[in-house]
Amino acid sequence: MEISVIVPIYNVERQLLGACLDSVVKQTLRRQEYEIILVDDCSTDKDTISVIDAITKATPNMKLVRHTENLGLNESRRSGVKAASGDYVFFLDGDDMLTRDAIENLLIKAYETGAELVTAPAFRWI
């Protein structure tokens, strides 16, 4: 596994979370090159829970970590890292979206430069 995409989630609107996860699932990398780790930080809204349940059942390279109490963003990211098996980790918030080749481009840059950390330019609103 090359990249673990970690998505901390807490009460994200259905449309935003669905678009976010769709943008990760449809990356140009082959599915065996990356995994998606969702960290549910004890969401209380039914929309978030239903979106998480539906997509984890339909996506083979996805793991779900559920907290038993709300621990906040930093602890959610830590939980995701503990569950990760990738050489790199990529953090994506549940209300953000990626371009189709975002993860592939970051991975290419990391390999070209031998970097341990790769960042991307600021995103733009479309």
Residue 38, domain member (yes or no): yes
pLDDT score, position 58: 87
Q: Are 6 and 35 in contact (CB under 8 A)?
A: no
Average pLDDT, integer, range 91-110: 93
Residue 59, domain member (yes or no): yes
Residue 24, domain member (yes or no): yes
Residue 124, domain member (yes or no): no
Residue 101, domain member (yes or no): yes
Q: How confident is the model at residue 122 (pLDDT cuts 50, 70, 90)?
A: low
The answer to whether residue 125 scores a pLDDT higher than 60 is: no
The total of structural domains in the chain comes to: 1
* Domain coverage including residue 50: 3-113
- Distant-in-sequence, close-in-space partners of 124: CB < 8 Å, separation ≥ 6: none
CATH of the domain at 18: 3.90.550.10
Burial-class residue 36 by CB neighbours within 10 Å (0-12, 13-18, 19+). buried
The answer to whether residue 76 scores a pLDDT higher than 70 is: yes
Q: Taking the model in full, what pTM does it have?
A: 0.91
